A = this chain, B = another copy of it.
Amino acid sequence: MPATLRDVAEYAQVSMRTVSNVVSGYTHVSERMRARVVQAIEELDYRPNPVARTLRTGRTGMLALVVPEIDVPYFSALARDVINAAAEVGYRVMIDQTGHDHERERELLTGNDRTMLFDGILFSPLVTKAELLEMETPTRMPLVLLGEHDFDGRYDHVAIDNVRAAYDAVAHLISIGRTRIAAIGAQPLEPYATPQQRTEGYESALREAGIEPVADYARPAAHYSRADGYTAAQGLLTLDPRPDAIFCFSDLLAMGAMRAVFDAGLTVPDDVAIIGIDDIEEGRYSRPSLSTVSLDTTFIAEQAIARVAARIETPVLRPEQVVAPHALRVRESTSPSAR
């Protein structure tokens, strides 16, 4: 049975108030008192109960990070940075996996959950723009959206310029002379913001180069996984004329696509150049190494933490839209000369 504040007070022959002051490192406590209390704490092996403290103060010191899948490298890298950035300002992070479950996302957002355990939420959603907008009862909890814009300006969010990032990737493929440029990751049926924006960037880069987008060249991918990338690329390779480049909406899709190209007896980048988005470490060691558009997860994490922390202090803050930088990283998968 752990010792309580009251136990310590009795043992040290002082009031609970004094013990509390000592524990909180707070205001004026005489040296004699402090010494007595500290000793009592030691001897009773007292540790404050964080739950009781929370009930009283209303602060848990915990943030939730909600992602679709923690084992997707981009999300685990993001989680790493979020955990570190949060620790920097005294918060701990709980990770929640929605697993592509819209219902679970809704639950979290509307606070029909045990959500009140958190002081704030960082949310990397799959919900569509429409779903976000239709949310009748937005949670009163400080919320920062990651990777998805809500176009209503109701929430803080931090994300890259998806249109521009996709544009840059495709422009790079064009710059190395590719003309039959396919894409994996479009989701025409489910209007998530990110795929839409990347599709837009893809098409605008093509058009700007005088290339008319070919419907067959744009392949959907449900989960942005290696397996989906593999399957989609297999489909693309059967087309006539065969694409000479593939722009994948995520590095993971690209890893799958690369393997599919090899398994078809073709080479990357000579037969098919491949580029992704995310810049996961895996792509720096793969063979060939993967060209990509780098997202700065550290920047994203720090901004998101800063926003949510600010909103916890001051709930009425005006929502802010932070655009994270991105950068093209040219590696072997789009460098024919190098091999």
Contact = CB atoms under 8 A, between A and B. Distances in A.
A39 interface: no
Nearest to A65: B95
A304 B80 CA distance: 23
Contacts of A77: 71
A50 B114 contact: yes
Give the contact-size bracket for chain A.
Answer: 35 or more
Interface string A80-121: 100110000000111111010000000000011010110000
Nearest to A262: B287
B55 A83 contact: no
A121 to B, nearest CB: 14
A291 to B, nearest CB: 16
Contacts of A71: 73, 76-77, 79-80
Contacts of A255: 282, 285
Contact of A285 (B69, B117, B256): B256
B69 A116 contact: no
B285 A287 contact: no
A61 interface: yes
Interface in A38-92: 45, 47, 49-52, 54-55, 60-62, 69-71, 73, 76-77, 79-80, 83-84, 92
B95 A83 contact: yes
Contacts of A284: 226
Interface string A272-287: 0000000001101111
Interface in A211-267: 226, 230, 255-256, 258-259, 262
B79 A47 contact: no
Interface string A107-146: 0000110101100000000000000000001001000000
Contacts of A114: 50, 61, 92
A77 to B, nearest CB: 5
7 contacts: A51-B60, A51-B117, A70-B79, A70-B95, A83-B97, A92-B94, A286-B287
